[in-house]
Amino acid sequence: MRGKLLFITGGLVGYVLGARAGRKRYDQIAAAANDLWNAKPVQRRVTEVRDAALEVVGDIPATLFKAGKKAVTKAAAKKQETPASTASSPVTKPKPKVTPSPTSAADADDSAAQ
């Protein structure tokens, strides 16, 4: 059923966009589409679908807002804690690791000769 409806809708849109009948025919088609959209049975179905979608979605926006607010509050509290805890302890920089470069036996002999 859905496929048929989409096919018919596509045909109507194609006709409207490609019609050579002029502005008068376009206005007739647009008025018919507007009348169909504003018909009580169509609007009743639109309302049912909107209500069903809101029921499925539920309180997701409110839940996301609460979770976001909690995360921001937690991050702000952690940020305020961090300077106080690091001020009492000295800051040390990690020392870079020094790896000896591989040398061959010939290089070792050359450096010993100098």
Residue 86: per-residue pLDDT: 52
Cα–Cα distance for residue pair 54/91, rounded to 1 Å:
53
Report yes or no on 72 lying in a domain. yes
Report yes or no on 105 lying in a domain. no
Report yes or no on 31 lying in a domain. yes
Name the residue range of residue 43's domain: 2-82
Within 13 A of 76's CA, how many CA atoms are on the CB side?
A: 6
Residue 113: per-residue pLDDT: 52
C-alpha distances (whole Å) from 65 to each of 53, 59, 69, 112 are 19, 10, 6, 72
Q: Is residue 22 a contact partner of residue 12, using CB atoms and an 8 Å limit?
A: no
Report yes or no on 29 lying in a domain. yes
Write the DSSP string, 69-89: HHHHHHHHHHHHHHHHHHHHS
Residue 84: per-residue pLDDT: 52
Q: How many domains, in total, are found in the chain?
A: 1
Cα–Cα distance for residue pair 71/62, rounded to 1 Å:
14
Report yes or no on 52 lying in a domain. yes
Cα–Cα distance for residue pair 64/70, rounded to 1 Å:
10
For the stretch 76-90, pLDDT in tens is 888 887 655 555 555
**Better-predicted residue by pLDDT, 60 or 113:** 60
Report yes or no on 93 lying in a domain. no
For the stretch 3-59, pLDDT in tens is 787 888 888 877 777 766 677 888 888 999 999 999 999 999 999 999 888 887 777
